[in-house]
Amino acid sequence: MTEKVNANPFSKDHIKDVFFGSDAAGIVCLVEDLLASGNVAKITMAARIAEQTAHNRTLPAKKIVFLSTFTLKTIEPHIRLRAFADGYEVSCRWVEYDHWWEALSEGEGIVQDSPDLIVWIAHPEDLVANLDHAPILPGGHTPDEETKYSLGILRSALSSFRSKFATAVAISTVPETWGPRLLYNNGAGLARKAVIDRLNEGIADIASSTANTHIFDYSATVSDFGRRRWFNPVNDHQYRTAVSVDALPFLSEDLWRFASSMIRPRRKVLALDLDNTLWGGIVGECGPNGVAVRGDYPGNAYREFQKFIKNLKDTGVALALISRNNERDAREAFELNTDMPLSWDDFAAHRVNWGNKADNLFEIAAELNLGIDSFVFVDDNPVECELVQKMLPDVIVVHADGPPSHFPELVVKTRAFDTVTLTDDDRARADSYDAERRRKEFSARKDSVEDFLAELNLELTIRPPEANELARVAQLFAKTNQFNITAVRHSLADVMAMQEQDDVLLVIASVRDKFGDYGITSVLELR
C-alpha cells in the first residue's frame, strides 16, 4: 500500500492538519517551505491559521511594536509564522513611518498594550536626505549636519521614552542601500559610505548609553542577503515598501531570531565529539600529531571550528567532551599537539570512554548540576545523534555532516547560544564549572561537611544592585530550574521599573570562596 501524498502542500486543509497536529518538526518544515515559496497569499493565509492555532493552544503570547522610516507591515505574516514554529503567539503593532519620532517621544501610545519589545528600523536616505549628493554639495545643509541632526532626534526621542518607560527597545544599524549612481568621482562612493558609517557609530553610541536598549544589525542582514536583491525602487516610490518580497523571509528570520533571543533562555553547555568533529581523523589510529587541525584543508577548517568554540567559551558557554576513545589518546592530542586552539582544561567535563553517549550526557548534567535542557550536542556520527535525540529529546542535537567549514554555521543555526545581553556573570560562568570541580575534589578529602565549610572561606555580600547588574537580576527572576519562592518572572523592563518604585527594594546576594567567585546568586524583591 502506497502512502498518500498531498498534491498541494500549501492547501488550506493541509496547513490546518499540520498546524493543529502535534508534530513540531513537521510544523517547522512546513513554515520554512511556505516562506521559501514567496507566495504572499499562502503565507498570509497560513499566518491566520497559525494565529488561531496558537490561541487555541494558549501558546505564550508576545507583543512587538515596530517603528520604521519606511513601510514594513508586509513582514507581519512572516514573523507570525516564525514565532508559531518556535511555539509562540506574536502580535505586531505598526506605527506609520513618518510618525516614529512622536510615537517614541510620547511613549504612551506604543506601550498601552505592554509590548515585550519595541523595534526601530531605518534606511539611511530617510535620515540624511542629501546622502547621494555628499561629494558635490556646494553648501547649505551638508550630510554631516543632517547626520548629527538625525542622531540628535533619535537620542532625544529615546531619552524621553526611557524617562517614562523601561520597555526593551532595539534600534537598527542602517544599511548601504542599492540604486543607480553616477560614476563622477572615485571618492563619491566612499564619501557616501563614510556618512553611513557615522550614522551607525552614533546609533551604537546611543544604544550603549541607554538602559535596556539593544542593537539589531539590520545592515548585516541586508549585506548577507545582497543589496541589489533587497531593495525594490518601484514599490518604494509607490507604497514606501522599500524591501522586496524576496527579502521578507530573510528579514523576518533575523528579526525573530533577535526577538526570541530576549525571550528564550540561552543554552549553557556545548558537548562535543572528538574524531572528525573537533579534528579530522581518528586519534587512536593516527596519533596526537596526526589529527587534522592545521595546515591546508581540512585541517584549517577544523582549526577554525575550534577557534569558534573557544570564542563561545569566552562568552560563558561551558564545554564538555563526549567521545568513544581511550582517554589517554584524547588527552595526549590536546597536550602534545601544539596547533590545537582548545586545551583539555577548556572543557568543564570529560566523558572519554566506550559508554553510551546519552548516559554520558546525563552524567555530565548531574555533575554540573544542570538540567539536560541546557545542552547542545555535536557529533559527526548520525547513529550517535539519533540515539541522543531519542533518549534525551530536550537536548539540541547537531549532526556535524558535510565539510567541517560549515560546522560553525550548523551550531549558530540552532540559535541555542544567542543572547542580546551578556553580563559579567555570563562571561565568568564557563570558568565557574572548573572551580566547582575543584570544590568537589576538596570536599572529598574532608571527613565532614563541617570541616569542608570551615576551610572553604565563604564570603557572602548582600546589597542593592547597581545599574549594570540589573540584567543579571532579570536573568535570576527568569530562571525555571532554580529555587524561586514566588515563581514570578520579571523581565529587565520590570526590574528597571522596580528600581524607580518607592515601595520596592531589590537586594542581591553574591558569594565567593577560596576557589573563586560564584557571582550574583540570589535576588530578593522586598515590598
pLDDT tens digit string along 99-113? 999 999 999 999 998
* Mean pLDDT of the residues in the chain: 89
Cell 558535510 locates to: 402
Cβ–Cβ < 8 Å for 265, 478? yes
For residue 189, count CB atoms less than 10 angstroms from its CB and return exposed for 0-12, middle for 13-18, buried for 19 or more.
Answer: middle
pLDDT reported for residue 7: 57
How do residues 46-93 score in pLDDT, each as one tens digit? 999 999 999 889 999 999 999 999 999 999 999 999 999 999 999 999
pLDDT reported for residue 63: 95
pLDDT reported for residue 9: 80
- State how far the Cα of 122 lies from the Cα of 221, in Å rounded to an integer: 13
Q: Tell me which H or E stretch contains 430.
A: helix 424-444
pLDDT reported for residue 140: 47
- State how far the Cα of 376 lies from the Cα of 287, in Å rounded to an integer: 28
How do residues 239-297 score in pLDDT, each as one tens digit? 889 999 999 999 999 999 999 998 888 999 999 999 999 999 999 999 999 999 999 99
Cβ–Cβ < 8 Å for 489, 469? no
CA nearest to 424, candidates 347, 318, 316, 512 = 316
List the pLDDT tens digit at each of the 527 positions of the chain: 444 455 578 899 999 999 998 888 899 999 999 999 989 999 999 999 999 999 889 999 999 999 999 999 999 999 999 999 999 999 999 998 889 999 999 999 999 989 999 999 999 999 987 776 555 444 445 678 889 999 999 999 999 999 999 899 999 999 998 876 665 555 556 677 888 999 999 999 999 999 899 999 999 999 999 999 999 989 888 988 999 999 999 999 999 999 999 888 899 999 999 999 999 999 999 999 999 999 999 999 999 999 999 999 999 999 999 999 999 999 999 999 999 999 999 999 999 999 999 999 999 999 888 899 999 999 999 999 999 999 999 999 999 999 999 999 999 999 999 998 877 777 777 677 777 778 888 888 888 888 888 888 899 999 999 888 888 888 888 765 556 667 777 888 888 888 888 899 999 999 998 888 888 888 998 98
Cβ–Cβ < 8 Å for 512, 518? yes
